[in-house]
Amino acid sequence: MKPRDRLRIAMQKSGRLTEPALELLNRCGLTFRQSRDKLFCFGEGEPVDLLLVRDDDIPGLIAQGVCDLGIVGRNVLNEYRLTGGLAGPALAEWRPLGFGRCRLSVAVPQELDYRDASQLQGQRIATSYPGLLGEWLRERGVDASVVTLAGSVEIAPRLGTADAICDLVQSGGTLVANQLREADVLLESEAVLAGPQALPSDERGDMIELLLKRLDGVIQVRESRLLLLQTSRGALDAVIRLLPGGPQPTLLPVAGQPDQLMLQALCAGEVSWRQLEEIKKAGAREMFVLPVEKMLA
Ligand code: ATP
Ligand code: MG
């Protein structure tokens, strides 16, 4: 393969991951001019181009060296590692990206009282993930017959071609509509940045490192929240104990109220209503949770 001096990232052409992946790359300062056939997008500022493909093709394109990186679901990457990619170079998950979250789960007919995997012994299980399902069954010593289907896996039990299924679940709505229920989770998935195990030793390796640094910044800011609240000095210890992780909070005096303090804390993830209610019960009031736009430590 000819050496390239521009980085090439594979991503899904049209599907659930397309919009969030493009938005993430934009936030990293990458913009693209879409070509007319929409397979290849030329990068405008940085020497980084996009290849828009079916998500299933992404791991193979990285393994063949056609692309340097890919944005793809962990489910697709791990299935490739267990099936298509056995003979080729190993692929690595460089970063979890925090979108496209779903679970790969076994689902059974609603009326079945599922307790553990041993009940799947001798059953027919339909899936598009024979590699991941096969490994999961093997690890549990369960001998079941895996029926591989490319799509519409959820209707197999109604058609009588399978007793259970193993498929991606997000809300569970599709399962309920097909009189199935989620019984066991094989894999928690989200979109990931995938690449070869080792960075290329040329300029592309340097570009990947730069991109990873920007990605880390973007992801950190995206997940950060600034929590502001007021509390009495007496309740301060109890309030601080309940704060969701992150560095030490900053305390500020409140004008005209010597007993009161204003507290400011950077939180590493979402702050839920439940957490806020607990903190309020401990003595806090006037609470605000704000998204963080940019951060420079
Ligand atoms: P393609 O044409 O690229 O092959 P696809 O139909 O395989 O598209 P999508 O349905 O767009 O792919 O899903 C892409 C990825 O989104 C999945 O591999 C998975 O990682 C993630 N995902 C998140 N939630 C769900 C869900 N409820 N069902 C399916 N995939 C989901
Ligand atoms: Mg696909």
End-to-end CA distance of the chain: 42
Q: Ligand 2 center to residue 21 CA distance, Å?
A: 15
Q: Ligand 2 center to residue 68 CA distance, Å?
A: 20
CATH architecture of 224-291: 2-Layer Sandwich (3.30)
Residue of 13, 97, 102 to test ligand 1 pocket, by largest number of atoms within 8 Å of CB:
102
Check pLDDT > 80 for residue 246. no
Instruction: Please compute the mean of the pLDDT values over residues 220-225 and round it to a whole number.
Output: 87
Confidence of residue 85 (pLDDT cuts 50, 70, 90): confident
Q: Dump pLDDT digits (tens) for 90-117.
A: 999 999 999 999 999 999 999 999 999 9
Would the CATH topology of 102-189 be identical to that of 224-291?
no
Pairing of strands 124-127, 164-169: parallel
Q: What is the pLDDT of residue 213?
A: 92
Q: Ligand 2 center to residue 39 CA distance, Å?
A: 16
Residue of 18, 38, 55 to test ligand 1 pocket, by largest number of atoms within 8 Å of CB:
55
Instruction: Please compute the mean of the pLDDT values over residues 146-166 and round it to a whole number.
Output: 97
Check pLDDT > 90 for residue 200. no
Q: Which ligand is nearest to the CA of 54?
A: 1
Q: What is the pLDDT of residue 19?
A: 96
Options 3.40.50.150, 3.40.190.10, 3.30.70.100, 3.40.720.10; CATH of 102-189: 3.40.190.10
What is the rounded CA–CA span in Å between residue 91 and residue 4? 20
Distances (CA, A) of 172 to 44, 104, 163, 217: 40, 11, 18, 33
Ligand 1, atom 14, residue with closest C-alpha: 16
Confidence of residue 295 (pLDDT cuts 50, 70, 90): confident
Confidence of residue 31 (pLDDT cuts 50, 70, 90): very high
Rounded percentage of the chain residues whose pLDDT exceeds 70: 97
Instruction: Please compute the mean of the pLDDT values over residues 203-218 and round it to a whole number.
Output: 92
Give residue ranges with CB within 6 A of ligand 1: 12, 15-17, 54-56, 73, 75-76, 100, 102, 168, 170, 189
Residue of 75, 168, 174 to test ligand 1 pocket, by largest number of atoms within 8 Å of CB:
168
Instruction: Please compute the mean of the pLDDT values over residues 193-222 and round it to a whole number.
Output: 92
Dihedral sign, Cα of residue 116, residue 121, residue 123, residue 127: positive
Q: Where are the domains of the chain?
A: 7-99+192-222, 102-189, 224-291
Q: Ligand 1 center to residue 150 CA distance, Å?
A: 12
Q: Ligand 2 center to residue 112 CA distance, Å?
A: 30
Q: What is the pLDDT of residue 222?
A: 86
Q: Are 59 and 76 in contact (CB under 8 A)?
A: yes
Q: Is the interface score ipTM higher than 0.95?
A: yes
Check pLDDT > 60 for residue 1. no
Cβ contacts of 251-260, under 8 Å, gap ≥ 24: 254/230, 259/232, 259/233, 259/234, 260/230, 260/231, 260/232, 260/233
Confidence of residue 86 (pLDDT cuts 50, 70, 90): confident
Ligand 1, atom 19, residue with closest C-alpha: 73
Ligand 1, atom 6, residue with closest C-alpha: 15
Q: Ligand 2 center to residue 218 CA distance, Å?
A: 27
Q: Which ligand is nearest to the CA of 73?
A: 1
Instruction: Please compute the mean of the pLDDT values over residues 167-174 and round it to a whole number.
Output: 96
Confidence of residue 2 (pLDDT cuts 50, 70, 90): low
Check pLDDT > 80 for residue 294. no
Q: Which ligand is nearest to the CA of 72?
A: 1
Minimum mean pLDDT among 86-100, 202-216, 283-297: which range? 283-297
Classify domain 7-99+192-222 at the CATH topology level: D-Maltodextrin-Binding Protein; domain 2 (3.40.190)
